Chain A
């Protein structure tokens, strides 16, 4: 058995790079959820992921971004707001901390991660004009449903035309916009769905069900049920439709006597 600590770190770094699931587990201390696993192991040049809120989309993306960074690639993450971009880099730090082969000379700036001797970079920024001018090996549109089509049109050309990947993640919003079209129309995107009911976490599911009580139906449908919905309240809510299809629900009995 090789006991040299530096060699073990080198081998550990190779292991987590070759096995993104192991990297995720090492950083987060838990197995990735199914949709996260699909995201992590995907090699498709175009991936779109729609998932319920707070399920870990950005965490999985941070794992992918860190891995690409260590491979010497440039990752550009576009978020709707500045705060989300900064928050994203904090998630990247978790993976840096858990990486046995993380470079020591790494620099975490407000919007950028870089390291001496590494070609890789991670840039996280809001979708503004300042986002132009980069060439990304991996372009991530985080919370894409909240990005304007114009903003998306402005940043997508920065993806490397030959080898670049485009990864789009979001919770659904309205029945309009690029994210809606990409998810609903036939195209060459690999589509990954992360629904809270598919998660093997009863505690989380119970917590989300509690949210249902205080959340308007349409909003709950968008944010947790992964359903695009327009404005206004429908005549029959999504929850009512769900109950109508549930065999455990008792039939409505009218007492006419």
Chain B
């Protein structure tokens, strides 16, 4: 539907959708052609409408969107820091990544000291992640049952009981034979 004096996009899309479209087009998140397909209108309509949006408005919209994104990221970070550390490895990895991005993005010469501190912090986080990784890796703990007092006692009890019951002893040995226990042990 088109209304005289008003652009098709202004008529068919809500303000929220239009603002988001401006942001997406400016930041390159979408193209005019993709938007035309999405909203069921020609790419020329999108092009003409986009040309009517004042540059100041475009800048304000993009700035607001960026602000919202950063706020969301801050909330995520705070959430991670406030979390119970269910996934500490991932949290540390995420923080290290974020700090690296911040360092790379920082071009202000006046903030050299802060930059150095961030680098230091990043290194510490990486060390922490490394130590954390060492502990969270699967650790093979070889417990030698033959030297375990508990298992030696258990073994004595089993032997004493089975020696008193020849039938049970025979059944046990038969089961061990079926399981090929000695073959497995000698083959290992």
Contact with A along B52-80 (1 / 0, CB 8 A): 00000000000000000000000000000
Would you call B146 an interface residue if the criterion is a C-beta within 8 Å of the partner chain's C-beta atoms?
A: yes
Inside 8 A of A117's CB, which chain B residues have their CB?
147-149, 152
Would you call A13 an interface residue if the criterion is a C-beta within 8 Å of the partner chain's C-beta atoms?
A: yes
Contact with A along B160-188 (1 / 0, CB 8 A): 00110000010011001001011011101
Check A8 against B184 for contact (C-beta < 8 Å).
yes
Check A22 against B179 for contact (C-beta < 8 Å).
no
Which of these, B147, B169, B179, B186, contacts A18 with CB under 8 Å? B169
Check A11 against B176 for contact (C-beta < 8 Å).
yes
Inside 8 A of B105's CB, which chain A residues have their CB?
none
Inside 8 A of A6's CB, which chain B residues have their CB?
142-145
Total cross-chain contacts (CB, 8 A)? 74
User: Chain A: how many interface residues by the 8 Å CB criterion?
Assistant: 30
Would you call A103 an interface residue if the criterion is a C-beta within 8 Å of the partner chain's C-beta atoms?
A: yes
Check A26 against B182 for contact (C-beta < 8 Å).
yes
Which of these, A2, A15, A19, A101, contacts B146 with CB under 8 Å? A101
Select from chain A the residue with minimum beta-carbon distance to B186. Answer: A26
Inside 8 A of B176's CB, which chain A residues have their CB?
11-12, 14-15
Inside 8 A of A15's CB, which chain B residues have their CB?
173, 176, 181-182
Q: How far is the CB of B150 from chain A (nearest CB, A)?
A: 10
Would you call B102 an interface residue if the criterion is a C-beta within 8 Å of the partner chain's C-beta atoms?
A: no
Check A8 against B146 for contact (C-beta < 8 Å).
no
Contact with B along A208-236 (1 / 0, CB 8 A): 00000000000000000000000000000
Check A2 against B152 for contact (C-beta < 8 Å).
no
Cα-based distance from A90 to B148 in the complex (angstroms): 25
Would you call A1 an interface residue if the criterion is a C-beta within 8 Å of the partner chain's C-beta atoms?
A: yes
Cα-based distance from A72 to B155 in the complex (angstroms): 11
Would you call A192 an interface residue if the criterion is a C-beta within 8 Å of the partner chain's C-beta atoms?
A: no
Inside 8 A of A26's CB, which chain B residues have their CB?
182, 186
Check B182 against A118 for contact (C-beta < 8 Å).
no
Inside 8 A of A116's CB, which chain B residues have their CB?
147
Would you call A250 an interface residue if the criterion is a C-beta within 8 Å of the partner chain's C-beta atoms?
A: no
**B contact residues, range:** 20 to 34
Inside 8 A of A71's CB, which chain B residues have their CB?
156, 159
Cα-based distance from A14 to B175 in the complex (angstroms): 12
Would you call A10 an interface residue if the criterion is a C-beta within 8 Å of the partner chain's C-beta atoms?
A: yes
Contact with A along B90-104 (1 / 0, CB 8 A): 000000000000000
Inside 8 A of B181's CB, which chain A residues have their CB?
8, 11-12, 15
Which of these, B145, B156, B163, contacts A10 with CB under 8 Å? B145
Cα-based distance from A101 to B159 in the complex (angstroms): 14
Select from chain B the residue with minimum beta-carbon distance to A105. Answer: B147
Would you call A17 an interface residue if the criterion is a C-beta within 8 Å of the partner chain's C-beta atoms?
A: yes
Inside 8 A of B144's CB, which chain A residues have their CB?
6, 103-104
Cα-based distance from A223 to B182 in the complex (angstroms): 36
Check A14 against B158 for contact (C-beta < 8 Å).
yes
Q: How far is the CB of A17 from chain B (nearest CB, A)?
A: 6
Within 8 A of B (CB), among A13-43: 13-19, 22, 26
Cα-based distance from A9 to B187 in the complex (angstroms): 11
Q: How far is the CB of B40 from chain A (nearest CB, A)?
A: 62
Inside 8 A of B188's CB, which chain A residues have their CB?
5, 8
Inside 8 A of B186's CB, which chain A residues have their CB?
26, 100
Inside 8 A of B169's CB, which chain A residues have their CB?
18
Would you call B151 an interface residue if the criterion is a C-beta within 8 Å of the partner chain's C-beta atoms?
A: yes
Q: Known pairs A14-B176, A18-B173, A101-B155; list 18 more (Cβ under 8 Å).
A: A2-B179, A6-B143, A6-B145, A9-B145, A9-B146, A10-B145, A10-B151, A11-B181, A12-B176, A12-B185, A14-B172, A15-B182, A18-B163, A18-B169, A26-B182, A101-B146, A103-B146, A104-B146
- Name 9 A/B residue pairs within 8 A (Cβ), A-sorted: A1-B179, A8-B185, A12-B182, A14-B159, A14-B176, A15-B182, A100-B182, A104-B146, A117-B147
The 5 closest A-B pairs by CB, nearest first: A12-B185, A100-B185, A15-B176, A103-B146, A11-B181
**B residues near A, CB below 8 A?**
142-149, 151-152, 155-156, 158-159, 162-163, 169, 172-173, 176, 179, 181-182, 184-186, 188
